[in-house]
Amino acid sequence: MTPPLTPPAIEARGLTKSYGDVAVLRGIDLSVAPGTVFALLGPNGAGKTTTVRILATLLTAGGGTARIAGKDVTAERSAVRRAISVTGQYAALDEELTGAENLRMMGRLAGLSRAAARTRADELLGRFRLTDAASRRVGTYSGGMRRRLDLAASLVGEPSVIFLDEPTTGLDPRSRQEVWELVAGLADAGVTVFLTTQYLEEADRLAGRIALIDGGLIVAEGTAAELKRRVSGERLDLAFAGRGAYEEADRLLGDLVVRREPDELRLGVATSGRAEHVRELLDAVDPDRRLVERFAVHEASLDDVFMTLTAKEPAHV
309 domain-assigned: no
Residues 215 and 252 in one domain: no
251 domain-assigned: yes
Q: Residue 254: which CATH number?
A: 3.30.70.1150
1 domain-assigned: no
317 domain-assigned: no
Write down how long the chain is: 317
Q: Give the per-residue pLDDT at 218.
A: 94
Q: Give the per-residue pLDDT at 217.
A: 93
Residues 213 and 293 in one domain: no
Sheet holding 234-240, edge to edge: 257-261, 266-271, 234-240, 292-299
Residues 16 and 54 in one domain: yes
Q: Give the per-residue pLDDT at 300.
A: 66
Residue 311: how many other CB atoms lie within 10 Å? 9
Residues 19 and 151 in one domain: yes
Residues 54 and 143 in one domain: yes
> What's the number of domains the chain is made of?
2
Q: Give the per-residue pLDDT at 317.
A: 37
Q: Residue 43: which CATH number?
A: 3.40.50.300
Residues 215 and 244 in one domain: no
Q: Give the per-residue pLDDT at 195.
A: 93
What lies within 8 Å, CB to CB, of 239 at 6+ separation is: 264, 265, 266, 292, 293, 294, 295
Secondary structure E strands in the chain: 10-19, 22-32, 37-41, 63-68, 71-72, 84-87, 161-165, 192-196, 209-214, 217-222, 234-240, 257-261, 266-271, 292-299
Range of the domain at 197: 10-227
Q: Looking at 212, 227, 242, which one is the last position of a domain?
A: 227
Q: Give the per-residue pLDDT at 313.
A: 43
Residue from 139, 153, 146, 144 nearest 172 by CA: 144
14 domain-assigned: yes
22 domain-assigned: yes
Q: Looking at 183, 208, 227, which one is the last position of a domain?
A: 227
Residue from 294, 128, 308 nearest 230 by CA: 308
Residues 77 and 177 in one domain: yes
Burial class (CB in 10 A: 0-12, 13-18, 19+), 137: middle
Residues 53 and 136 in one domain: yes
Residues 190 and 284 in one domain: no
pLDDT tens digits for the chain (317 residues)?
A: 445 567 899 999 999 999 999 999 999 999 999 999 999 988 888 899 899 999 999 999 999 999 999 999 999 999 999 999 988 766 578 999 999 999 999 999 889 999 999 999 999 999 899 999 999 999 999 988 998 898 899 899 889 999 998 888 778 888 888 888 888 988 988 999 999 887 778 888 899 999 999 889 999 899 988 887 776 567 788 999 899 999 989 888 887 787 788 998 999 887 777 788 888 888 888 888 888 888 888 776 677 677 667 754 443 33
Residues 68 and 129 in one domain: yes
CA angle 285, 239, 43 (to 5 degrees): 95
Residue 66, CA distances (Å) to 10, 95, 277 in order: 8, 36, 46
Residues 267 and 204 in one domain: no
306 domain-assigned: no
Q: Give the per-residue pLDDT at 311.
A: 54
